[in-house]
Amino acid sequence: MQTQTLEKPAWLKMKEPELKKIITELAKTTDQPAKIGTILRDQYGIPTTKLYGKKLVQYLKDLNIESKTELDNAEEKFQKLKAHLEKNITDKKAKHRLQKAQTRVQVLKRYFNKKKKS
């Protein structure tokens, strides 16, 4: 699968080195690529980093920045809810959220396994 470079809009004046600097600064405050992408879109007006030829995760790897995957975040949430329910057995809302989190983890595992095979 090849990376497709999109055509940059005329209003976007930022250069790639500036983008790398911003990504580095944002990575210090958050470890989730999705949050970094949202901040880039909302505050800096960059619709996608693909305009510069690479995905955000590739930029993070090039800059040697460790970031959590969506699966790691889902598993962490599942473990926190599980620990909460051990202390608060009668919390029915948390029990429902735990079921939803468990489903999310299973879906993501299935997705990443399928992605590795292809």
Sequence ranges of the domains in the chain: 16-62, 70-117
Terminal-residue alpha carbon distance, the chain: 10
Q: Give yes or no for a contact between 32 and 71, defined as CB atoms under 8 angstroms apart.
A: no
Tell me, what's the pLDDT at 3?
Answer: 53
Tell me, what's the pLDDT at 14?
Answer: 83
Q: Is the full-model pTM beyond 0.85?
A: no
Tell me, what's the pLDDT at 82?
Answer: 96
Tell me, what's the pLDDT at 95?
Answer: 96
Tell me, what's the pLDDT at 15?
Answer: 86
Averages of pLDDT over runs of 10 residues in the chain (118 residues) are 65 86 90 88 88 87 84 93 96 96 95 85
Tell me, what's the pLDDT at 94?
Answer: 96
Cβ partners under 8 Å of residue 65, min gap 6: 23, 24, 27
